[in-house]
């Protein structure tokens, strides 16, 4: 642990980073009360700046504080290189092979992520940064124009390189996510017009929306997430670009797409998120089976919205179910349709589900669990709980049953109600009952 008065070593100073070319950002004082910032994030910021580095709070944490939401995490961007960060923190782990980030570990498993300022590598050749001015005289930076003929391949396949703060701001996806907070000066530093967009409650890309979505189509799902979760509008040109570029999502790495779908389901606004995804036409790209089910007006198709509403209620109660339950609830309609009236529901399920599993690169564990908890519903519906109670997936199967009951406005079955009583667990019942159920 260094003493607060320790001499700053010369090699830790940021004299290798020129400051002269940096554009002037809009600066907003006193928008954030310092006591709302996580004390461990404060420690990290203070130690970095004390050693001569620039260090700001960035991204979702700043955005959420400005919107008076509880931030999920606090990320730090700094001029210090990863090895410099490591020297300053004992509790530091460097992660990432191609782009190294520092994770500073604190009690309770808390991690403060510290990333060196970086830029989009295609920015590197262009040193011109465009400053745009809106009607109110607010200046913002735009990423330099890129080759954007209709067949130009803009998909970003390589990692970013170290850069300056303004470059780090403009490589980010949306203006609301491109803000820095300077703790010492109590100032929000805005290179991208994020503060006015937060005031107007609108999601806007940094730079041209069609270019930014083609570079990374997962941003389309992220726009949906922020709009739904934070109840923000989407700028009209951004919305149009989402519609135009939605097919590009099939070029993104499936695990990233899956993770963003999961975030749409987990964020407390699953119903609104999936509705926007349907409206934009994104659902037809990532889950065509579900769109077909909705658009064919299959029996009970509209129940989807009630199931998603139920997930949001469970989230609000602090009882968000796990991934397999979320996926099973999302796909319950088409899955039910696929197995309806077949003699071999297991086979019909696999035929239907396999393609989806491939497309989304669903992990084997989740896939198996979706299968098990879906099959359990038919037993539950016939009140045949029996040995299921002892299975390791029983709690998840019960959670799916609860989603369905809430969606249908049905009372929870007695066995499920009992499971949820305080102090109850889904551990195996006493031996006597176990024997009895085995004989059945």
173 flagged as catalytic: yes
Is 386 a residue that touches Mg ion (CB under 5 A)? no
For residues 162 and 84, give the distance between their C-alpha atoms in angstroms, rounded to a whole number.
14
For residues 230 and 272, give the distance between their C-alpha atoms in angstroms, rounded to a whole number.
11
75 flagged as catalytic: yes
Of 73, 240, 244, 306, the active-site residue reads: 73
Give CA 20 to chain center in angstroms.
36
73 flagged as catalytic: yes
Whether residue 203 contacts residue 223, with contact meaning beta carbons closer than 8 Å, is answered with yes
Q: Which of 10, 21, 72, 98 binds ligand ATP (CB under 6 A)?
A: 72
For residues 43 and 41, give the distance between their C-alpha atoms in angstroms, rounded to a whole number.
5
- Radius of gyration, alpha carbons of the chain: 25
Of 75, 168, 210, 396, the active-site residue reads: 75
H/E element holding 116? Answer: strand 111-116
Output 177 or 291, the one with its CB closest to Mg ion. 177
Q: Per-residue contact track with Mg ion, 48 to 67, x per CB under 5 A? A: ------------x-------
Q: Per-residue contact track with Mg ion, 318 to 357, x per CB under 5 A? A: ----------------------------------------
- For residue 146, the partner it binds in Mg ion, ligand ATP, none, with Cβ less than 5 to 8 A by kind, is none
Q: Which of 84, 173, 337, 396 binds ligand ATP (CB under 6 A)?
A: 173
How many residues in the shown chain lie near Mg ion by CB under 5 A?
2
Go through 340-377 and write b for each residue having 16 or more CB atoms within 10 A of its CB, e for each that does not: eeeeebeebbeebbeebbebbebeeebbebbbbbbbbb
Of 64, 120, 168, 173, the active-site residue reads: 173
Output 25 or 398, the one with its CB closest to ligand ATP. 25
Output 104 or 218, the one with its CB closest to ligand ATP. 218
Q: Phi-psi region for residue 309, left (φ > 0), alpha (ψ -120 to 50) or beta?
A: alpha
| Angle value at C-alpha 214, between 358 and 355, nearest 5 degrees | 10
Is 172 a residue that touches ligand ATP (CB under 6 A)? yes
For residues 107 and 109, give the distance between their C-alpha atoms in angstroms, rounded to a whole number.
6
DSSP 70: P
> Among all residues, whose Cβ is closest to ligand ATP?
60
Footprint (CB under 5 A) of Mg ion, residues 67-126: 73
- For residue 315, the partner it binds in Mg ion, ligand ATP, none, with Cβ less than 5 to 8 A by kind, is none
**In the complex, which residues of this chain contact ligand ATP (CB under 6 A)?**
59-60, 72, 75, 172-173, 177, 216, 218-219, 263
**In the complex, which residues of this chain contact Mg ion (CB under 5 A)?**
60, 73
The set of catalytic residues is 73, 75, 173
């Amino acid at each position: 642990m260094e003493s607060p008065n320790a001499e700053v070593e010369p090699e830790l100073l940021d004299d290798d980073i020129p400051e002269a070319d940096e554009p002037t950002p809009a600066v907003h004082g006193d928008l954030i009360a310092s006591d709302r910032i996580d004390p461990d994030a404060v420690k990290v910021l203070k130690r970095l700046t004390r050693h001569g580095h620039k260090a700001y709070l960035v991204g979702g944490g700043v955005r959420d504080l400005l919107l008076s939401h509880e931030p999920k995490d606090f990320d730090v961007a700094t001029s210090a290189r990863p090895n410099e960060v490591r020297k300053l923190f004992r509790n530091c782990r460097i992660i990432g092979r191609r782009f190294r980030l520092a994770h500073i570990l604190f009690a309770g498993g808390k991690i403060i992520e510290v990333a060196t300022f970086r830029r989009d590598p295609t920015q590197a050749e262009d040193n011109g940064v465009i400053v745009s001015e809106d009607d109110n005289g607010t200046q913002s930076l735009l990423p330099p124009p890129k080759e954007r003929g209709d067949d130009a391949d803009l998909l970003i396949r390589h990692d970013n390189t170290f850069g300056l703060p303004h470059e780090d701001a403009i490589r980010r996806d949306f203006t609301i996510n491109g803000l820095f907070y300077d703790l010492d000066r109590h100032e929000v530093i805005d290179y991208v017009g994020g503060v006015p967009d937060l005031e107007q409650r609108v999601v806007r890309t940094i730079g041209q929306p069609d270019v930014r979505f083609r570079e990374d189509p997962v941003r389309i799902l992220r726009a949906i997430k922020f709009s739904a979760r934070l109840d923000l509008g989407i700028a009209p040109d951004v919305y149009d670009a989402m519609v135009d570029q939605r097919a590009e999502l099939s070029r993104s790495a499936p695990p990233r797409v899956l993770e963003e779908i999961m975030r749409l389901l987990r964020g407390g606004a699953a119903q609104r998120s999936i509705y926007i995804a349907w409206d934009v036409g994104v659902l037809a790209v990532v889950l065509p089976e579900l769109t077909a089910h909705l658009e064919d007006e299959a029996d009970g198709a509209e129940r989807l919205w009630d199931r998603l509403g139920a997930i949001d209620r469970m989230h609000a109660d602090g009882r968000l179910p796990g991934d397999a339950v979320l996926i099973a609830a999302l796909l319950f309609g088409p899955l039910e349709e696929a197995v309806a009236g077949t003699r071999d529901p297991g086979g019909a399920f696999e035929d239907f589900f396999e393609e989806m599993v491939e497309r989304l690169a669903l992990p084997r564990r989740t896939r198996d669990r979706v299968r098990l908890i879906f099959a359990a519903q038919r037993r539950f519906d016939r009140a045949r709980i029996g040995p299921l109670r002892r299975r390791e997936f029983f709690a998840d199967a019960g959670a799916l049953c609860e989603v369905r009951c809430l969606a249908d406005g049905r009372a929870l079955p007695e066995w499920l109600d009992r499971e949820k009583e305080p102090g109850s667990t889904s551990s195996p019942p006493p031996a006597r009952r176990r024997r009895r159920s085995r004989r059945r």
